[in-house]
Chain A
């Protein structure tokens, strides 16, 4: 089981996970993970360059192409990379087999990453594993050829793996200041990728109150020629809901949440300590609702982790369709929808905007447990989760506008015990007013 004890997730993982770093970029990322305190036993480094491989702290190592490259790198030739990988097929197979989930980390565009990664993906697929590729596309200044190689490899990978998380190097730089040292900028990029892997692991392994499964992940992320959006925010203190959202949106791949508007599905994973209240979940979802477009659906995963104590961890994952990817995506989704026999959510049957459905669905599971713990500040009927989210047939008596702060819309929110005090009290307590 992956040891994440000094990571944030802390929960017992129930499935085995292996993280394979392929090529220079992949090995670098593994090194970063080792430095961050990930358990080396689950990391497998695969590289042609014997020297780089030697220096890597991963638990397992496979040297590619003992005869094809003789311990040197491929010189940016994917064919040589693929050839090198085929030389050691049996070793690779041993390395990737026997796990539930396999992460494949690679920088596409070079020889080893673009050439060997698809070969390894194919092996893993044959072994019947759930395969997630976390890859980077080269900087545009690296030249047309490298870009073409990268895209080709990406297409290849997409055919083999279950899920591709694709980060563009060009965009990763946006998270760093223009005058940041290049080492720091690269470090930040690696950090973002490591966080995304960690978040995915947490999503897949932790049994939450509201569980997000592989299918949700796939719905949010697998888009043709997609651009990946990833946001991670951690906060504590009295204003933690607001801060977690702000921090998550501040991530380099988010563009302050502007891009969320264009997403069709956004995966929201929220973990908190035992003091996480339903109200806080509600606040976060409401705040996110302000950043998404009318057609966006939020898929909520909720997880209580006692080790987090007062902290709140919010992860956002989504993907944007790349050029020409949209139609394909729509078609795929339509096909998937027909296949699945899931019952329509409340939102769909009642004609509500679809995005609130994730939240409405969440109520029965969380409310019983969370509301008991909460002290009611007043002897008043409590605003229920569904009541505030959208105007619609679920509320017959009260016609609420979407959460309104009126005069205070632009000022710093006053949040006490997870309640936004700027929102009129009578709205929060569902007092009926004859206006």
Chain B
């Protein structure tokens, strides 16, 4: 195991991480500072100026209600990134918890894994739509719905590594020396599951953003009152043959964000895999 500092240095030498992470950092900063970047209220309608082409006043043009598209894309990006990030954190955290229990305790494993199998047998989008249909459409509920559909993936991953880790000799050595189970899990099992988990979390980040876009696109996601890339594209689709700009801008940002996150994930995977040469 390398020390933390040499890990950082190796990360900075990895082009996938620097490029992917760099793009991600840049768009995050842009979205965070959206209010100061020449945007107007993304909800103000102005039917007179609807479907304008990009100009110096409206950088990306306006949509069918005359709202400024540039502002909407930037504010929508905040929502999309927030959902992606929250889902990644929540799904990883709960997945890790459930996975540890499932991997370490045989009886719990039987029950938990059957539930996870059940969840995985329903297509993720369908499950998320069903859940938002039961609840009110809000950002929080979208996060919740996508998290539930992503958890089984994390559980499988964690359970798998716990199952192999608990057979390691040093875990047995700790058992023989009388170390209690919680200590064994925290000291010997948990730290060794982190590497694959970090990689998985980045993929969930990207997947959640796409999922949010899909859900919003079919009207089951973020409510129309809150702009997100998904519902901007959804509203623009009726006009895409005439004013395809309305779709192109949010779609391009979505692609860029997903691409940069996946790229970073690939870099992290190579970096954290002990078998790959540095």
Q: Do A and B bind each other?
A: no
> B-side interface residues toward A, CB under 8 Å?
none
